[in-house]
């Protein structure tokens, strides 16, 4: 999806920035609501950017991960998926219903994949989400899928691809900066892709701005570290 994504409740900010962030959140929220209205069901729980390939090189201590609050992916969970992973405490998974109307299907599609699940960070005090996209083409490589996904994002710059492991699963990860056509502001974004016998899966971290992106990284790292292919 070529969107800024769903927005949530604003975290506590200093008096000098609260009004600005609130206004930006309201604008982004209205755009996201119009795009995703009717797509999600409540559940309990420009041109291709220049890129560079690199090997993952985490620090000796490893990235910080959030406390686990649940798991999505298995049958019976909020979002049955071709992969499973842990969800941070207080983040709320919601399944995104398929859209059959071809004139509206682009609302949930981004490049070669389609959005099927969103894990909302608002209950945890953040304005953002983790979103899962999938397809049913097992032959697609993670790199190919992620390049197509990133190219469809829009105004992308500084894209860097890395071959990594998500859990024990070979994956490709990308970090990049995207500029919103709505607010004309730039923010950091990251996503990873894996291949499974049922097709590709993309895990995407979206947020209001780069500050929110950094604040939500522990939840993304938890999902990445615990990811496995669904049996």
Number of domains present in the structure of the chain: 1
pLDDT for 70 equals 97
Would residue 129 count as lying in a domain? yes
Would residue 146 count as lying in a domain? yes
Would residue 79 count as lying in a domain? yes
Would residue 8 count as lying in a domain? no
CATH of the domain at 154: 3.40.1000.10
Cβ-contact 79, 95 below 8 angstroms: yes
What averages of pLDDT result for each successive group of 10 residues across the chain (231 residues)? Answer: 36 37 43 40 38 40 89 97 98 95 92 98 97 95 97 93 98 95 90 97 95 97 98 91
Would residue 77 count as lying in a domain? yes
Question: How far, in Å, are 58, 164, 210 from residue 173 at the CA level?
Answer: 13, 7, 18
Q: Which residue has the tokens 């389609």?
A: 114
Q: Which residue has the tokens 């990445």?
A: 224
- Give the closest residue to 81 by CA, choosing from 135, 121, 39: 135
pTM assigned to the model: 0.75
Which token pair is 93? 């998974």
pLDDT for 31 equals 40
Chain mean position to CA 180: 16
Domain limits for position 154: 15-229
């Amino acid at each position: 999806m070529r969107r800024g994504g769903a927005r949530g409740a604003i975290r506590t900010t200093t008096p000098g920035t609260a009004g600005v962030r609130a206004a930006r959140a309201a604008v982004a929220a209205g755009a996201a609501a119009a795009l995703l209205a009717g797509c999600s069901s409540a559940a309990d729980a420009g041109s291709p950017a220049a890129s560079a390939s690199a090997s993952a090189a985490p620090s000796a201590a490893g990235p910080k991960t959030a406390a686990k609050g649940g798991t999505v992916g298995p049958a019976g969970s909020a979002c049955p998926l071709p992969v499973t992973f842990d969800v941070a405490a207080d983040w709320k998974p919601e399944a995104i219903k398929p859209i059959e109307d071809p004139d509206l299907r682009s609302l949930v599609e981004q490049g070669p994949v389609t959005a099927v699940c969103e894990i909302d960070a608002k209950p945890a005090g953040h304005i953002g989400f983790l979103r899962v996209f999938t397809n049913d083409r097992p032959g697609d490589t993670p790199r190919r899928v992620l390049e197509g996904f990133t190219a469809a994002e829009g105004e992308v710059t500084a894209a860097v691809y890395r071959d990594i492991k998500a859990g024990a699963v070979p994956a490709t990860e990308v970090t990049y900066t995207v500029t919103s056509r709505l607010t004309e502001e730039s923010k950091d974004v990251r996503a990873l892709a894996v291949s499974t016998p049922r097709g590709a899966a993309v895990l995407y971290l979206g947020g209001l701005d780069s500050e929110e992106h950094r604040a939500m990284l522990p939840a993304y790292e938890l999902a990445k570290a615990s990811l496995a292919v669904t049996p």
